[in-house]
Structures are given as C-alpha cells and as structure tokens.
Structure 1
Amino acid sequence: MCGIVGWVDFARDLSRERPTLRAMTDTMACRGPDAEGHWHDRHVLFGHRRLAVIDLEHGHQPMTAEIDGRTAAVVTFCGEIYNFRELRAELSAHGHRFRTRSDTEVVLRAYLQWGEDLAGHLNGMFALGVWDTRSEELLLVRDRMGIKPLYYYPTPAGVLFGSEPKAVLANPAVPRRVDADGLREILDMVKTPEAAVFTGMREVRPGQVVRVGRGGLTKRRYWSLTAREHTDDLPTTVATVRELLADTVDRQLVADVPLAVLLSGGLDSSAVTALAARGLAAQGRGRLRTFSVDFVGAAEGFLADAVRGASDAPYVREMSAHAGTDHTEVLLQADALAAPHVRDAVLAATDLPPAYWGDMWPSLYLLFADIRRACTVALSGEAADELFGGYLWFRNPAVRQAATFPWLTSGSARYFGGLALLDEGVKEKLDIPGYRADRYRDALAEVPVLAGEPAGERRMREITYLNLTRFVQTLLDRKDRMSMAVGLEVRVPYCDHRLVEYVFNVPWPMKSFDGREKSLLRAAAADLLPASVLERAKTPYPATQDAGYERALRARMAGLLADRHAPVLPLLDRERARRALSRPLGAVSRSYDRGSMELMLWLNQWLAAYDVTVDL
C-alpha cells in the first residue's frame, strides 16, 4: 500500500521540476512511511511513497522494466494484487523474468504483456500510473470498486495525478478553487463519479482507464456492473457465496507484516473474522488478532436508539472467544474526538470537510492509530450492507418508491443531510434539490437492464446499484483516508469483484428469503458464528453518546460565530446557529442541527486551512 504522484507535460522539459515532484511526493508520506522513490524523463516525473507489505526488501518504486536493455515502461503503484502469484506463473509462461517477489513487478510485466487490458487480469485493490517510454503515453488505472483513490488534473499539455487531492494541489499550477458544483458535492451525499470537488480536478472512476498522450486524454470503462440472469437455486447460491467469500478472505491474508481483522460483533465482520482465523491456522501462522472500538463508559451507560439496539461489546467478546482470536478493545475518550490536533489530522487526511458522521471520522482515525502500533494490515467488513441489502432502506416500502437516493429520503436524511444551518440565499443559489434530482437521474440511467425483469425486481436492482456505485464510495473513501493517515492498510473482502458480480444478480426474493436483512450472508456464515452474533440485527459503527462531545461542538460553534473573519460565515445562517446553541444540552444531538453544525465547523476549518476560494 502506498501513495503515488506524477506529472506529464509534452510541452516542457520537466527535469528542472524535480523539487516540485518531491513536494508532491512528500504529501504522500503518511500513505507510505517506509520508503520514497522518484523517476524522471524529459516529459514525465513519477513519485512514490511505500508502505512495505509484500517482499519488504525489494519492490521499491517507481519500478522500471527493460526490453533489450532499454527502459520500456515505468510504474508507480498503490494497492495489493491478490492473484499476483497466479499471474506471475502465467507471465513466466509467456517468457517474462522476475527480479523480485513483489506484486508491483507482476503489474508492470502484465502491462508489457497485455497493455491497458492488464486491469481485467487483476484481482485486488489498486490505483496505478504506467508510463510507456516507447509510445510516450501515460496510463492511469483504478480498481473496479474504487477501493483505492486516484485523482488527476488535466493541463494544456499533459496531466498531474496523485493518490489524494493534496498531491495534485502541491503543484503550484493548480488553483485552490471550488465552484458551485464542487460545493454541492460537499453538501449533499450524492458522490458523483469522477467529481473531485476542486475546480478542474477529476477522480478516476472505479473500473476506469485514463490514457494521456500527445493527442490528448481519453477515458474508457474496463469494468462495470452488468445484469445477468441468475439460474442457481437457493442452496447453490448460498454455497457459492460461501465459496467466494472464503476464497477472497484467504487471498487477502497474504502479507509479510502483522495482520488483523476489525471486529464489531456484527454479521459482516464476524464472518470475515471466522474465515480469517481458520485461514491463518491452516497456514500455521498462529492466532488471528482482532480489534474493536468503543467509548469509555459506553457499554455501561448505553442508550438504545432508532439504529443501535445494543452495545457492540458483548457480541465482540463472544465472537472473539468463539473464533479464538487475540482481541484488543480500543476504548476512546469522547473528548478526544474534538481535540484540535485530532481534527487537524483528519482534515489533513481527507483534503475535504467530512460532511457526514462528523464524530466518526476522528474516532476511526484514533482506532486505526491504535491498531497501527501492532499491525500494518487489517481486514474489514465494509460493503456487505450495500451488497447483501443490510440497510433499513432496502426494506422500507416508502423508500423503495421514493424518486431519490434511498439514504436521502426523509427517514435517513438526519444522518446524511447537513443543510439545516446553511444560509437560505446560498441554498437558493445552489438548488441542492435540483442538483440531487439530476444526479439521481444520471445514476438510474446507468443501471443495467435485464430483459423481462419484473418492475419490483428491477427497482431492487436499482437500489442495489445506487448503493454499490454511490453510497459505498463515501465509506471506502473514509476508511482509506483514515487508515492511510496512520500508515495502515485496510482490505475489504466484500468488494471482491467476483463476489459483487455474483450477488448483484441474485434476485431480491432470494437475497431476503428469510424475511431479514442479509439473508444470503447469514446463511453462508451459519456454521461459522455463535447464535447470538448470527441473529444480531444490523448495527452501525458506534457513535459517541457522551454529552461532553456536544459541549465541545457548541463551544467551537460559539467561537466561530464570534470570529468575524471566519471564512464560512457567508455560507452560514447565523441566526439559526445561535438558536441551536440556545437549546438545552442534548437537544442538538437529537436534531438535524448536530449534523449541520458538524458540517459548518469542518467547512470553516477546511476553507481556512486549505485557503480555498469559493466561486458562487
């Protein structure tokens, strides 16, 4: 796992720009604390920061490949290729010779063998740039589900790219501006593919190849979800899900560094834990390490709400004992979530204001920092809800019929809508409802069609597609930024494209055959888990219930309102913010105001720290 950067300019000799390349590469130090590398030619600069996970002594990047004694191609690569051993054998049969045991060299040789079609051969999470010295072309490629980020900024004669916006912004040629559409993307949880908020910047879409040559820039999708008839019966479907998940977890155990699993005590992470524990034992690698997170005093003082019926802790402990893991419970102080140095670190990792679940970003950052002291790799249960239908909106008839993104309907908007404290004039100018409607229509137009599919089944396919191409992206982004901020690699078995392709096409009645959420996954993991965990209802990532956190938010908002130079003031409904602060303690946390207060605080901090100009 690493951070990558690059600059191509066909009109300039970039050899004099190596200080700028170093500045761009330095922004990726958190993603790759183990090594740094640079490569340059007349019209191209590549940078790399390495987090060593496989073949620790070798695999340094940027990596070159030679043909007849001359450099043919160069790669700067971020990610893990889980089928690299099979590909290495296949490429060896084609006559390729290898100098290392790394998956990076396999990627490079795969490019020499298959060109831009290499992406279709890779099983993994990846973002990469390849420079072909023979054709003088750059290839940017991102994994199918968008687990690893990749941004680029077209220039008149080339392109800049990097794992995160900060790498691109480190080049003085890139202005720090945000237009109306960029602000709309921040304020509304629509996650438009390729949108990158900063004006002129783009994000390589999941499953996309971007090629840059002297003739300009072209884009191509090498993978997308497709509609296929599902012919397996229920027992075969359950068995196939189990086989695919077990194979995926087994593949993702490969590492030359300490590895763990994030365990919440829910169905998703517990299934991964059980399979990983079995896999490590079969390989003779000892007991699996697991980690969970909670807040000091939360288990004793837990209060059930609409989405959290019980504390995670008892289920975590039972699952750890059941699987025989070496478990660590990370307990956070609620006041740490509001600590200035923590919030500064979160913002520096995201490059954007964390618009949703404001307290969860700092808590995830602190959890990952704790895990990183013991492990370099962790497996996660992310994306199972989107794939198997775990959220309430999959089963709510009113939400199914709503002509918008399911998570932005009235029942869910309190968690994902942050507009309550936005100035009314700004709201009118941005027309968020209109923008949301346009993005929703665009998304529906992409949904693959199966001939003769009943209307109800087609609607469930649409909802699943929206979750897998829009909603899950926000979760993957959060997990990537918070983990890589501390140099921790997080792997997501439920994003394996083979599993996603298969389950996407399973009819909804089969996905919900027992009338509950995630029926298929529960059936596939039935023999792996204790009964209490197997039957546990979906529970989201823990949020703090400590009143001290609300006090800290209130203090920060009061300070913002008192600062007449605060950059967010033109966007803020100050009178409504004052009314929110006058309400009794606890009222803000139970209302829409808390999410909007979080957003405005983050937005103000971002505008100031990144010196952003907003063009409205």
Structure 2
Amino acid sequence: MTDTMWCRGPDDGGVWVREHVALGHRRLAIIDLAGGVQPMTLETPEGEIALTYSGEVYNFAVLREELRALGHEFGTTSDTEVVLRGYLEWGTDFAEKLHGMYAFAIWDGRVDKLVLIRDRLGIKPLYFYPTQDGVLFGSEPRAILAHPDAEAVLNLVGLREMFGACKTPGHGVWTGMHEVRPGGLVEFDRDGQRERIYWRLTPREHTADLETTIAEIHDLISEITRDQLVADVPRCVLLSGGLDSSSLTAVAARELAGQGERARSFTVDFTGLTENFQADTMRGTPDAPYAQAVAEHVNSEHQAIVLSPDAMLDAETRSSVVAARGFPIGIADVDVSLYLLFKAIKERSTVALSGEGADEVFAGYPWFHVPAIREAEIFPWMVPLVEMLEEAEVDEVLNDDLSAALDMETYIQDQYQVAIAEVDRLEGESDEEHATRVLKYLHLTRFLPLLLDRKDRISMAVGLEVRVPFCDHRLVEYVYNVPWEMMTFDGREKSLLRAATGPLLPASVAERVKSPYPATQDPRYAAELQRMAKEFLAADNHPVFSIMNRKWMEETVAMDPVGMPEVVRENLDRAIDVATWLDIYRPRLDLG
C-alpha cells in the first residue's frame, strides 16, 4: 500500500506496526528535512500516539509557541510534530486551530482509536474503506486497492459519480470506499465509526463598506501568500497571465523581495500556439505574452514550458496521468499538459503556488453573471457544456445500455437538490441575495473539489507540492459573505480581486477578460487521437465499448481533424483515457 504512494513522497518512507494498527508513510520533504521523519510517534504514560500526515499547516510556528507555553518540548522544527502535540493537548478539537492543506491519520494507543482528519476545503485527499474487522485508509484509492481485502468494483452509483461533472462530498466512487469530507473527521474504535464536520460555509452579516472590504481582501491575500511561501526547499509560482495567477505572482514577488529574494514563475505553452493562435468563444487571447508582461513587471525569473504534440500524445505519459487521476474523468489534454508542466517544474522547485480557486471564490466564471443560467436549476457549469454538445450535434458518448442504466439526468438533478438544501440562509436575506449565495456554495463544494483533486493528483504524481492560497478558509469565509452587489460593484467578473490586486499588475493584465487553461490547437493532436480510436474499432470486442458508444466513435474518427469542435476532441480524449484506465485498474463493473 505504501509503495503505491511512492510518487507522492519520493524522499523517504516508513512503516509503523503495533498490535491493532499498521501505518505507512511516503514523505515529500518540505520543512525540517532531517527532523520530519514519519510515521512520527509520541510516548505518553497511558500509551503511544502515532501520526502519518500529508500536506502543510501554515500556522505551525504560532501553534508551536502556544504549545510551548503549555509545557510541550519539541525535538524537531517540523509542522508534523506540532500536529502530533496539538492532538495530545487539545484532542480532535485542535483541527479547528489549523490553517493549511492537510490529511492525516492519528492512532491513539491510549484508547485504541484511529482518527482521520481532512482540511476544510478538501485540498488534500483522504479515503477510507471499512472491512469486516477494521478499516483501510490512504491518500488515494490505489493505496487502498493494493490491499487484498479491497475490491476494484464500480457499481452504477460509482459510475454516475465518475461521469457526473460534480463531486459529492464523502463519495469515494469505488464500491465500499468513502472520502473523509472536507472539513471533516472520522473516528474508528471498538464501538464503531463516528463522523463529525468541524467546518462548513456559514452565512454571516457583512457590515464593512466597499473600500474596507477591498483593503481587507488585499491584506488577507498578502498574509496568506506570505504564510504559504514558507518552505526549506525551492519555491515558484504558476503564472498563466490571467488575473488570478498574475495577482498571486505579484504578491509573492513583493513578499519575496522584502526577504531579499527573487520570485520564480512558470507558464505552459504549446508549440506554435502564440504565433498561430485562433480566438474562439472560450479563449480570446494566448497566455504567453501576458505572462511575460507580468514577469517583466514584477521582475520574476520566468520560464515558459513549451509542449509539442508528440509529448502530449506519449502513451506512457497518458498512462501515468490516468493512474494518478484514478478515473478517466478529466480533460486529457489539460491533464497531460499539467503533468508535463509539473514534471518540468519539479526539476527546479519542490513547492509551487497556484491561483486555483479564485474563480470559485470571486465569481469569475461567465455563468455567474447570466441570470438564465443562475435560474436553470442545474449545476451552472453544466449549462455551457450541454449547449456546446448540442451545437456540435454530438451523439450519446456512452454506450446505449449503460447510458440508460445510469440515467444521468435524474442523478445530477437529485445531487443538485441535495446540494442546495445544505445552504443556510442569513436572516433577512433577500431571495436574490440567497440565490447568489447558493451559486457560490455550489461552486465551492461541488465544482472546486474537482479542480483541487486534479491539481493534487497530477502534481503529487511527480512529487511537486502545489499550494493554493485562494483556498485558505479565512479568505473563502470572508468573500462568501460579501453581498453580491459589492462583489460585482463595477459590473465585471472578479471585481473585488481586480480592485485588491490590480494596482500591482500591468494594465493589460488587470483588464484582461478571463481565459480558461490553454489547450493545444494543433490539428495533428486530434488526428492522432482519431488514429488511436480506430485501433479500438478494429479490435474484436475492445473493452472500451463496455462504456463508450461505438457508433459515436465511428462518427468521430471520420471527422476532419481540422476544425474539430473542442468538446468533440475532449470526448475522444476521454474515451482513450477510459481504455487506458480499464487496462491499468481492471475494474469489475457491477451494473445490476
């Protein structure tokens, strides 16, 4: 089980075994490289306490001083020991004191109890699988599936979750498997299993005026970025040239300059994309010139990682990405380019800061601002996808029998109703204001987790720790409660973020319209996908057609790759991912 997580922790590893428990750990050394060895243990008169821990607690230095004042003595300078002693002092309530991204398991030998705890936004993954006489757990499903008591089975509910384009909190997709919920903890002992949520999005009255709100957001972003730059290894920033990453780069560069250091930044590009860029409905401009403008403006040490179609189509790379993701649920060219970008960065840095989460926190997506989409009674990010599929006249992508059994429309509507029922209403809140609160809640609890999961799996597949300052719970809580009129005070998307950080940026970047993560526009990429799909069609009873629609694939491979709609290419990419996933994980599909 521990060996499957080698990529997440290539620097060190350990196993700790006692009568009722076995803990394994793979370490990515970030803080106190010599002293933070795990599993870490602590002897008490009543019994031994042990910890296996993934992630970072950014306020560990403050907590360490608080614990020292209470009489604790430390043998290391690691945040790991702070977490262990924090549990000893405060029990599970100490989770509420933590700022950071973390997932960890504590074995409390004083009472023979296992405690699993996950950070508030679910930045770090943590899964568990109850068995007849205990429980298995791990950072990823493949760690659990390596145990002989766990079966790689997917039933209809798991398949619905896999293809549903939303992430249900607590759902582990594999039959019998669960996720520790974001902001949650689960305890196991002789009396059974207990779950508790220690943090959730809560409405509060916002009384500050616009000027004060903008200043508070600026100060929060500055403080959070400063905290997340703490590391004993090289750091960098992911810079796309959009408002989110550019704001983060500018703040990080300012903080590092105050420490006498120069920021390092990286962007991804594709061979010939900037020179031959063609604007479409999603992307009006290429990223590279804007990223370069920011780098020059803040004096960062900047490098563009340029990817060729051959690199993007490498079969071994695709297998690595699908194995890391665990499911064929991503957008393959985005996932593959992220993997290659992170792999290149890892050669130069071990920690990277990312602007992920800003769109969800600051209402950056176009559909936040389209009343018809907000009133559609469906997860809002799905409306543009449905429209693109209809416009491209795409037939059913999944095979007919599976599609009928899944009944995805009903499942998604049911999940939507469950999600909106969770949203608490502030006393006196108008219907319009509550509707926008629901919109923010859906993105933070059902959409952002998909992006965070992708970011974690793909970055950790190459041993790169990606930190996400915009997902700090203090910023999320604050902006969640800012009234909609104030969030859109100038009639644009991400008004508050632009006002808080725009003065640090070149005018061209501060005023740039949102552009999604870049995709290759080279028709050779689509043509090669078609060639691979033709091999599936030529084979006798290829396993991919247990999930994908053969007629749809036949029609897609007959298309002209030049001008192929992006949504069609993405589905073809996903079909090849499905075939790769079936070959790697060899799941049993339980469709009864």
Q: Same-fold call, TM > 0.5?
A: yes
After TM superposition, give the deviation of residue 357 of structure 1 in Å.
2.1
TM-score by length of 2: 0.97
After TM superposition, give the deviation of residue 513 of structure 1 in Å.
0.4
Q: Secondary structure at the match of 1:359?
A: helix
1:302 corresponds to 2:264: no
Q: Which amino acid is the alignment partner of residue 156 of structure 2?
A: A
Separation of aligned partners in 1, 2:552 and 2:8: 40
After TM superposition, give the deviation of residue 67 of structure 1 in Å.
2.0
Q: Secondary structure at the match of 1:406?
A: coil
Aligned twin of 2:416:
440
Aligned twin of 1:177:
153
After TM superposition, give the deviation of residue 34 of structure 1 in Å.
0.5
After TM superposition, give the deviation of residue 398 of structure 1 in Å.
1.2
Q: Residue deviations 1:369-421, cap 9 Å, x none?
A: 00000000000000000000000110112101101000111456648999832
Q: Which among 516, 532, 536 is matched to residue 540 of structure 1? A: 516
After TM superposition, give the deviation of residue 595 of structure 1 in Å.
2.8
Separation of aligned partners in 2, 1:36 and 1:419: 48
Q: Secondary structure at the match of 1:298?
A: coil
- Report if aligned partners of 1:420, 1:592 keep a CA contact under 8 Å in 2: no
Q: Secondary structure at the match of 1:95?
A: coil
Separation of aligned partners in 1, 2:455 and 2:583: 24
- Report if aligned partners of 2:253, 2:300 keep a CA contact under 8 Å in 1: yes
Q: Which amino acid is the alignment partner of residue 55 of structure 1?
A: D
Q: Residue deviations 1:125-150, cap 9 Å, x none?
A: 00000000001000000000000000
- Report if aligned partners of 2:87, 2:94 keep a CA contact under 8 Å in 1: yes
TM-score by length of 1: 0.94
After TM superposition, give the deviation of residue 608 of structure 1 in Å.
2.0
Q: Secondary structure at the match of 2:5?
A: coil
Separation of aligned partners in 1, 2:386 and 2:68: 52
Separation of aligned partners in 2, 1:490 and 1:181: 31
Q: Secondary structure at the match of 1:64?
A: strand
- Report if aligned partners of 2:395, 2:552 keep a CA contact under 8 Å in 1: no
Separation of aligned partners in 2, 1:569 and 1:314: 43
Aligned twin of 1:5:
none
Separation of aligned partners in 2, 1:289 and 1:217: 46
User: 1:474/1:419 Cα in 2 relative to 1: closer, same or farther (>3 Å)?
Assistant: farther
- Report if aligned partners of 2:240, 2:291 keep a CA contact under 8 Å in 1: yes
Q: Which among 290, 302, 315 is matched to residue 327 of structure 1? A: 302
After TM superposition, give the deviation of residue 356 of structure 1 in Å.
3.5
Map 1:137-286; keep pairs closer than 5 Å: 137-284=113-260, 286=261
Aligned twin of 2:561:
585
Separation of aligned partners in 1, 2:458 and 2:514: 23
After TM superposition, give the deviation of residue 263 of structure 1 in Å.
0.5
- Report if aligned partners of 2:531, 2:557 keep a CA contact under 8 Å in 1: no
1:41 corresponds to 2:18: yes
User: 1:494/1:413 Cα in 2 relative to 1: closer, same or farther (>3 Å)?
Assistant: farther
Aligned twin of 2:351:
377
- Report if aligned partners of 1:334, 1:546 keep a CA contact under 8 Å in 2: yes
Aligned-residue sequence identity (percent) comes to 51
After TM superposition, give the deviation of residue 38 of structure 1 in Å.
0.9
After TM superposition, give the deviation of residue 338 of structure 1 in Å.
1.6
User: 1:230/1:415 Cα in 2 relative to 1: closer, same or farther (>3 Å)?
Assistant: farther
Q: Which among 56, 67, 76 is matched to residue 52 of structure 2? A: 76
Count of residue pairs the alignment pairs up: 589
- Report if aligned partners of 1:79, 1:126 keep a CA contact under 8 Å in 2: yes
Q: Residue deviations 1:342-379, cap 9 Å, x none?
A: 101101211111x2322100000000000000000000
Separation of aligned partners in 2, 1:528 and 1:292: 19
Q: Pick which of 444-453 and 297-306 moved more.
A: 444-453
- Report if aligned partners of 1:415, 1:595 keep a CA contact under 8 Å in 2: no
Separation of aligned partners in 2, 1:572 and 1:304: 31
Q: Secondary structure at the match of 1:101?
A: coil
1:358 corresponds to 2:332: yes
Separation of aligned partners in 2, 1:419 and 1:129: 45
- Report if aligned partners of 2:218, 2:500 keep a CA contact under 8 Å in 1: yes
After TM superposition, give the deviation of residue 187 of structure 1 in Å.
1.4
Q: Pick which of 331-340 and 385-394 moved more.
A: 331-340
Q: Which among 424, 427, 431 is matched to residue 407 of structure 2? A: 431
1:600 corresponds to 2:569: no
Q: Which amino acid is the alignment partner of residue 7 of structure 2?
A: C
Q: Residue deviations 1:249-308, cap 9 Å, x none?
A: 000010000000000111111111111111112122x21110000101100000111111
- Report if aligned partners of 2:166, 2:450 keep a CA contact under 8 Å in 1: no
Separation of aligned partners in 1, 2:397 and 2:389: 15
- Report if aligned partners of 2:103, 2:118 keep a CA contact under 8 Å in 1: yes
Map 1:123-138; keep pairs closer than 5 Å: 123-138=99-114
Separation of aligned partners in 1, 2:219 and 2:112: 43
What's the RMSD between the two structures over aligned residues?
A: 1.5
- Report if aligned partners of 1:152, 1:160 keep a CA contact under 8 Å in 2: yes
Separation of aligned partners in 2, 1:264 and 1:71: 50
Q: Which amino acid is the alignment partner of residue 444 of structure 2?
A: L
After TM superposition, give the deviation of residue 495 of structure 1 in Å.
0.5
Q: Which among 44, 49, 53 is matched to residue 30 of structure 2? A: 53
Q: Which amino acid is the alignment partner of residue 203 of structure 2?
A: A
- Report if aligned partners of 1:407, 1:413 keep a CA contact under 8 Å in 2: no
Q: Secondary structure at the match of 1:494?
A: helix
- Report if aligned partners of 1:91, 1:110 keep a CA contact under 8 Å in 2: yes
After TM superposition, give the deviation of residue 558 of structure 1 in Å.
0.7
